[in-house]
Amino acid sequence: MAKRKGKDGDAPPIATDTRRSFLFKLGIGLNVVAAGLVSVPILGYLASALRTRARQAWIPLGTVRDFAVGTTRLAEYHNPFAVPWDGDTARIPCWVRRIDERTFQVFAINCAHLGCPVRWFPESGLFLCPCHGGVYYEDGSVASGPPPRGLFEYAYEVRDGRLWVRGGQLPTLSEPV
């Protein structure tokens, strides 16, 4: 407590812990807590750029016999980087086209325009997107509509009679053609 000298030399002590100073300190403390809570997701977002890694793995799609020559069919794999709360979204569908005995094409099911799932129509030999009318030829190239590029294609390997696809992280428009 500070003392103020008056005319007679000694003055009564002045209280420095007033309601105003208490509320001021409380306000500063609450602002510090709020700034800390707001900064946690921002710092997490900024730090995530430092720890990005290619999240890709080789995943079996089935035996080569499962895919007939000259056909395109839907296949599915389980994302190896899934977390328990992913649920059904960890099951990733893809279109597999078998061109000949050793040549395949594996397409992501998503349209390159906005990501809607495309469907294969064997009668016309086309993939069609129901959202905005995107149409793709059987080789995945754009036939018509708004898609800026062809279907996303996965890398694949044939090992020991099994078809393997390099999957995990889904492709985006930033992927090279």
Virtual torsion, Cα 164, 169, 175, 177, nearest 10 deg = 20
pLDDT tens, residue by residue, 9-36 = 566 666 667 888 899 999 999 999 999 9
Q: Are the beta carbons of 68 and 118 closer than 8 angstroms? A: no
pLDDT tens, residue by residue, 98-132 = 999 889 999 999 998 888 999 999 999 999 999 98
Q: pTM to 2 decimals?
A: 0.67
Cα dihedral sign, 108-110-114-119: positive
pLDDT tens, residue by residue, 125-134 = 999 999 989 9
